[in-house]
Chains A and B, each alone.
Chain A
Amino acid sequence: MAIKFNRVDFKYQGFDNKGYLALSNINVSINAEGEFITLIGETGSGKTTLVQHMNALLTPTSGNVTIFGLKIDQENIKKKKFRLNPIRQKVGLVFQFPEYQLFEETVLKDIMFGPKNYGVDEATARERAIKMIKVVGLDESYLDRSPFNLSGGEKKRVSIAGILAMEPDILILDEPTSGLDPLGRDALLRVFNDIHQKLNKTIIVITHDMNTVYEYAKRVLVMRDSYLVYDGDPHTLFSKKNIENWNLDIPDIINLLHHLEKDFNITFPKQPQNVDELLTMIEEVAK
């Protein structure tokens, strides 16, 4: 078990001193290998807060999180018992807003920062930057540009390249595809999926896109009002009645299937996994 939450509560200390409970009694475990998890839930439900606990950017108000063997709780923090650097390298987190992550003069320096910070030598860091800029769909000419003079989608890609260059064991992406065009979105999701499949790494993606959940996730976590209300596979999730109560959309594939079943009175033999399967199934019945 790479990451384990044990009865975690988290309260933000607002300046009104009331505080704001963003996580309530979270218990969840994440494996170091082989997981593709999507984390979904309404705006403000606690998704970002939850993943920021996974690399100790935030620490529990009560309860504890164990990350690669380091137990993080209030007591240990007071004693300053640990170094967080190794955790941050093992658990790479791409922020929701790329602006929080980009700060160097050039894209090259920005991407090299992470690996260098975790002990990778200059030449290797440069090599990785050159590789990763292409992996995220930009060409090498971007390396000399200032990260601030980029379009929203380009900034997003650069921030992702920076974390990929650290080669973390667990890769967490906070809404990585919002603001990307569909082709760019699919290409990036395939990159994450490749990393997952070829290197058997664990990927966690926060998203509002149910098609991403349906087509990529092996496991889905649903946050609602600071609680983790679902931890299971996507198919069970989307067949659940209470889906609307959670304000989840259904994936396009299932939506279309339901329409056709209802209005044409046909039943499809099984739930298609992807668009191609769906097209083939419809082709069969339309003949």
Chain B
Amino acid sequence: MAEALGFFTDTTVCIGCKACEVACKEWNQLPAENGGVGTLSGDSYDNTRRLDGIHWRHVRFIEQFKGPYDGRWLMMSDVCKHCVQAGCLEVCPTGAIIRTEFDTVVIQSDVCNGCRACIAACPFGVIDINPVSGTAQKCTLCYDRLKVGLEPACSKACPTDSIQFGPITELRQRAQKRVEQLRAQGTKADLYGADPNGALGGLNSFYLLVDKPEVYGLPKQPQLPTRNLSKTAGFSVASAAVLGVLALVGLRKHRMDDMGGPGGGGGGGGGGGQN
């Protein structure tokens, strides 16, 4: 495999211009929502609201306002995390989701049958159905552009370099320096998903955050869906065994009743002698 490539998103320099969202839509020819007629969220300056099958990039606005003169905006350009251990890839029953030579996670639209297991499996709520194709879609980390040596459309368009593209090892070093710089200035800053020994083996799209992950709509400790498999399957098998015993005990009681006549359905193996 070639070197792992990905994104480092420094949320402190995002200005919420949404150039990345637009560049992504344009390059990937993603359709407009609602026939192109804008819909307002009504509760935020962010009207995209979410990642889904036709929004592979989404600039999230977190509006923290206690009063008119006391508040701040947090902005974060959200995208598929290209998890090193990816829940979507793990459950996909058609094999449509693959890991590429760049260590990114891609859905092959011609293989996907739209079962939507990956939507529920992704801990970050990244995937959804693209109504035009009827298949699950998400960021490909511009696989087609990487193939010809171009950088992804979003990071190319980002005017403040909030989205940085490159080899993951290099990005991690750069991110660490930035964290130190911010902390030296007295700003709280943490990396999310940069630790290869952390959750999901690290995220190939990781973030610098200045508040708790939940504030940005990110899970504290993302996990693989199969963590539940053995326990829930074990309890199911146990309950199947209990039902089997209940069915057989009932049948045996009936037999006993038959053999002993009325009142003969008493205890243990009492009726055995009549066989």
Are these two chains actual partners, yes or no?
Answer: no
Taking Cβ atoms with an 8 Å cutoff, the residues of A that contact B are none
Taking Cβ atoms with an 8 Å cutoff, the residues of B that contact A are none
